[in-house]
């Protein structure tokens, strides 16, 4: 928790910063990605979705939807759809849900609720939708848990390094610019309250980036929508964030492919089966640029102001919701192999770490992840 409570609001109204909180999680990334590395986000996703659920499912009756969202792609499969649910109706519904999510939390839409909050120069409480507040709360919780490795106020650094809504520069920024952006980062300067839902910045130039958990939030919202329509067996994927419910057409748990974290390659590292949970993978191999032979990924360490540098290539987390899995995967990715594994074990998280070695890759999983491997 921060030592500096803003004086104006009673403490019980703050959302706690628990612990004291998510293919390019480009929430609403504009246009199509350019460059070989980035375009892989979509390709990988498509390749992955082809593997989800396996073959022969059409026999059991399945509605399949897909489309663009958040600068990437989504895929939805509903098996044994309840009577009356049509493909067209579902497509409209799902697109509507995802558009709504973008209008709430995208930094790529200048008129989204989040962009308006980011632009606001007020350091007073600003009322926001419960949805936006919920995503921020998950973000703050993950910050507390990871002691600031995860930080949704990292936006100025993300943008400076060219991984935000502005056109890519693919260049390492000047030290001074990094230092200046770093001054604006700090989740302790962001406050939330539930009644009525509102956010408050301690610095007017705080800028939130929810991309690290936005895909997960989108997958959860679509899942809620499907449950509301009576669906019981489905799989929702928004890029690397996945939420599954029930069983596939064969009556088995859904099979999810975790890819080999090699740029430009679409190979399966491992397939796991889950049901009733969310899953997300973060990696440094899809969204990055190279300068002088060095790779700079979109996972930024808020403490150094620079992209993370370690041998950890990807982290996959299984959690109750896709949003939580998304946030945690990014947090562990930023923490790196040693500290990430230690935190995941201490918190009982189900996580799979894929680490680069001279020979290829080494997998390391937490105890809680063991049950997904035992199948």
Q: Does 326 bind Mg ion (CB under 5 A)?
A: yes
Candidate list 24, 42, 53, 71; residue touching ligand ADP; CB under 6 A: 24
Q: Which of the stretches 10-18, 168-176, 295-303, 343-351 binds ligand ADP when contact is defined by CB under 6 A?
A: 295-303
CB nearer Mg ion, residue 93 or residue 218? 218
Find the shortest distance in angstroms from Cβ 154 to ligand ADP.
Answer: 4
Tell which one of 14, 21, 22, 354 touches Mg ion (CB under 5 A): 22
Nearest to 280 by CA among 330, 240, 332: 240
Measured from the CB atom, is 112 or 287 closer to Mg ion? 287
**Minimal distance in Å, beta carbon 165 to ligand ADP?**
10
Task: Choose the stretch contacting ligand ADP; rule: CB under 6 A; options: 10-18, 91-99, 190-198, 325-333.
Answer: 325-333
The answer to whether 140 contacts ligand ADP (rule: CB under 6 A) is no
Separation of alpha carbons 98 and 69, rounded Å: 7
Contact 284, 313 (CB under 8 A): yes
When asked if residue 211 is in the footprint of ligand ADP (CB under 6 A), the reply is yes
Q: Does 330 participate in binding Mg ion (rule CB under 5 A)?
A: yes
Q: How far apart are CA 354 and CA 310, in angstroms?
A: 12
Beta bridge partners of 290: 295
User: At a CB cut-off of 8 Å and minimum separation 6, what does 363 contact?
Assistant: 269, 270, 352, 353, 354, 355
Q: Interface with ligand ADP includes 98 (CB under 6 A)?
A: no
- Among 109, 138, 220, 299, contact with ligand ADP (rule: CB under 6 A): 299
Contact positions with ligand ADP (CB under 6 A) in 214-273: 239-240
Q: Is residue 284 a contact residue for Mg ion (CB under 5 A)?
A: no
Of the pair 39, 232, the CB lying nearest ligand ADP is at: 39
Choose from Mg ion, ligand ADP, none: what does 158 bind? Cβ within 5-8 Å by kind: ligand ADP
Which residue's CB is nearer to ligand ADP, number 61 or number 264? Answer: 264
- With contacts defined by CB under 6 A, how many residues of the chain interact with ligand ADP? 27
Q: Which two tokens stand for residue 262?
A: 């090699």
Per the DSSP assignment, residues forming a β-bridge with 76 are 65, 236
Q: Which of 282, 319, 321, 366 binds ligand ADP (CB under 6 A)?
A: 282
Q: Which is nearer to ligand ADP, 197 or 302 (CB)?
A: 302
Per-residue mark of binding to ligand ADP, 148-167 (x: CB under 6 A): --xxx-x---x----x----
Give which of Mg ion, ligand ADP, none residue 302 binds (C-beta under 5 to 8 Å, depending on kind): ligand ADP
- What length is written for the chain? 375
* 212 interacts with Mg ion by CB under 5 A: yes
Q: Does residue 332 interact with Mg ion by CB under 5 A?
A: no
Q: Residue 19: which region, alpha, beta or left (left: phi > 0; alpha: psi -120 to 50)?
A: left
Q: Which of 105, 326, 352, 353 binds ligand ADP (CB under 6 A)?
A: 326
Residue 62 binds which one of Mg ion, ligand ADP, none, with CB within 5 to 8 A depending on kind? none
Q: How far is the CB of 77 from ligand ADP (least distance, A)?
A: 20
| Residues in contact with Mg ion by the rule CB under 5 A | 22, 212, 282, 326, 329-330
Residues at the interface with ligand ADP (CB under 6 A)? 22-25, 150-152, 154, 158, 163, 209, 211-212, 239-240, 282-283, 286-287, 298-300, 302, 326, 330, 333-334
């Amino acid at each position: 928790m921060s030592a500096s409570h803003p004086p104006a609001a009673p403490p019980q109204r703050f959302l706690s910063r628990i612990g004291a909180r998510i293919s390019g999680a480009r929430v609403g990334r504009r246009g199509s990605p350019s460059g070989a590395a980035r375009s892989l986000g979509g390709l990988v996703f498509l390749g992955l979705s082809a593997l989800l659920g396996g073959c022969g499912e059409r026999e059991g009756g399945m509605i399949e939807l897909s489309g663009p969202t958040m600068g990437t792609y989504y895929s939805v499969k509903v098996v044994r759809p309840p009577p009356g649910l049509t493909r067209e109706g579902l497509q409209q519904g799902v697109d509507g849900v995802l558009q709504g999510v973008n209008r709430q939390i995208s930094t790529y839409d200048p008129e989204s609720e989040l962009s308006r909050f980011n632009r606001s120069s007020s350091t007073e409480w600003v009322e926001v939708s419960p949805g936006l507040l919920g995503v921020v709360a998950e973000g703050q919780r993950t910050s507390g848990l990871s002691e600031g490795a995860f930080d949704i106020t990292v936006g100025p650094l993300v943008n400076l390094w060219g991984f935000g809504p502005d056109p890519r520069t693919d260049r390492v920024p000047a030290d001074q610019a990094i230092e200046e952006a770093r001054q604006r980062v700090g989740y302790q300067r962001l406050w939330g309250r539930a009644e009525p839902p509102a956010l408050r910045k301690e610095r007017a130039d705080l800028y939130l980036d929810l991309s690290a958990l936005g895909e997960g939030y989108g997958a959860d919202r679509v899942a809620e929508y499907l449950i509301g329509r009576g669906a019981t067996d489905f799989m929702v994927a928004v890029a690397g964030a996945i939420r599954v419910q029930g069983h596939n057409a064969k009556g088995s748990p859904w099979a999810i492919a975790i890819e080999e974290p090699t740029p430009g390659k679409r190979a399966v590292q491992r397939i796991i089966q889950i049901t009733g949970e969310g899953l997300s993978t973060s990696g440094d191999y899809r969204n990055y640029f190279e300068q002088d032979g060095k790779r700079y990924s979109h996972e930024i360490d808020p403490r150094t102001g620079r992209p993370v540098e370690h041998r950890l290539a990807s982290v996959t987390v299984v959690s109750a919701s896709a949003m939580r899995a998304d946030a945690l995967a990014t947090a562990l990715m930023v923490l790196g192999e040693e500290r990430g594994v230690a935190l995941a074990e201490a918190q009982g998280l189900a996580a799979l770490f894929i680490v680069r070695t001279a020979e290829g890759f080494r997998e390391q999983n937490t105890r809680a992840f063991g049950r997904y491997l035992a199948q």
